[in-house]
Amino acid sequence: MEGKSKKKISKLNEFIQKHSLPAFFAIGITAFLLVAMITAQVTTMKKSEAILEGKRESELADSLVVLQRDYDELKEKYEESQKIVDEYQTNSSTNDSLIASMKSQIETLGLLSGTTDVTGEGIIITLYDGNTSDSLVHDSDVLTVINELRVAGAEAICVNEQRIIATSPIRCVGSVIQVNYQKVAAPFVIKAIGNAQYLESALTMKNGVVDVLNGYGLKVTLTRETNVEIPKYQGALTFSYAKQGE
């Protein structure tokens, strides 16, 4: 048995001695290749990072160019706006005067056209029907009072809260009167803004409007007021045929 064991050990030693060098050589080559592969991979990664960093820097440079252009455009617009502000501030007094003048003209036109509510001193004259069918207030009676007020310098007139303007129609329709195409009935309250004393004198003079209406059997009252309120005209202000002359 011992002889056989020695033989086996001897053969194993021979096998190791026979194959040990090639085995170690193969293992060395394999290890070298593995190290080379790892080194190459690391180098490639570093190169990729460098390229990526280069791209990022290029992109940042492009972005910087775009931002600089946008900044220049915004700066130019700001400078233009600042010039407009400076010009307005320089001419603000002139502009304020112009605006004030325009507002004054608009207010005056509103007063003349009857498109604004107005208040002021004046008179209120009221016309009542008489006691008989022959003593009713007619459209001509209202027109007579309005015309006399206009001649006396009334600046604004209304009849039963209907503002009278240049085109206001006043006419009888059955038992009522139409003013601005709105039906109004007795008593007829006529308000006028102007010099109260002068307006009253114009209507109450001897053989004046009040005397004439009283002669028709109508009842007339007249009072001076320090604050007469007259509403604005509510109808449409349009012209179908009249045009401004050339």
- pLDDT higher than threshold 90 for residue 53: no
156 or 70: which leads in pLDDT: 156
Q: What is the pTM of this model?
A: 0.59
The CATH number of 117-230 is which of 3.30.420.40, 3.40.50.10470, 3.30.70.1880, 3.40.50.720?
Answer: 3.30.70.1880
**Segment 103-152, tens digit of pLDDT:** 676 666 666 678 889 999 999 999 999 888 788 999 999 999 999 999 99
**Segment 28-49, tens digit of pLDDT:** 444 444 445 555 554 555 554 5
Three-state SS letters, the chain: CHHHHHHHHHHHHHHHHHHHHHHHHHHHHHHHHHHHHHHHHHHHHHHHHHHHHHHHHHHHHHHHHHHHHHHHHHHHHHHHHHHHHHHHHHCHHHHHHHHHHHHHHHHHHHHHHCCCCEEEEEEEEEEECCCCCCCCCCHHHHHHHHHHHHHCCCCEEEECCEECCCCCCEEEECCEEEECCEEECCCEEEEEECCHHHHHHHHHCCCCHHHHHHHCCCEEEEEEEEEEEECCCCCCCCCCCCCCCC
